[in-house]
Amino acid sequence: MVIKSKTGNMGRKLRTKFCDRCGQPAPILFRVQYDESATWVFVCESCWASVSQDNPFYRYGGTWKAQKRN
C-alpha cells in the first residue's frame, strides 16, 4: 500500500509504504522473496536482516525509496 502526500522537499511528493512483514512504515523497503511460496514482498531494514541471513529461499528484487530521484 502506498500513501501519497503533497508535503515534501521542493514540491516532491513523499510516499509511504508499509513493511509486509511487520506492518511498520519505512522510507526504504527491500523487495524480496524469503520462503517456499516465492511471493515477492516489501520488507523494512529490520525485517530484511532476519529474512536474508542463512536463508536458501532468499532472493533480492530491488529497493523502494520514499523519495524518488528526478
CA distances from 35 to 3, 9, 41, 56 (A): 27, 38, 10, 8
CB burial class (10 A; 0-12, 13-18, 19+) of residue 44?
A: buried
- Other C-beta atoms lying within 10 Å of the C-beta of residue 34: 22
pTM, two decimals, is 0.77
Which pLDDT score is estimated for 2?
52
Which residue, chain included where needed, has cell 500513501?
3
Could you give the CA distance from residue 49 to residue 2 in angstroms, rounded to a whole number? Answer: 23
Could you give the CA distance from residue 22 to residue 43 in angstroms, rounded to a whole number? Answer: 8
Mean pLDDT, consecutive 10-residue stretches, the chain (70 aa), reads 52 82 97 97 97 97 87
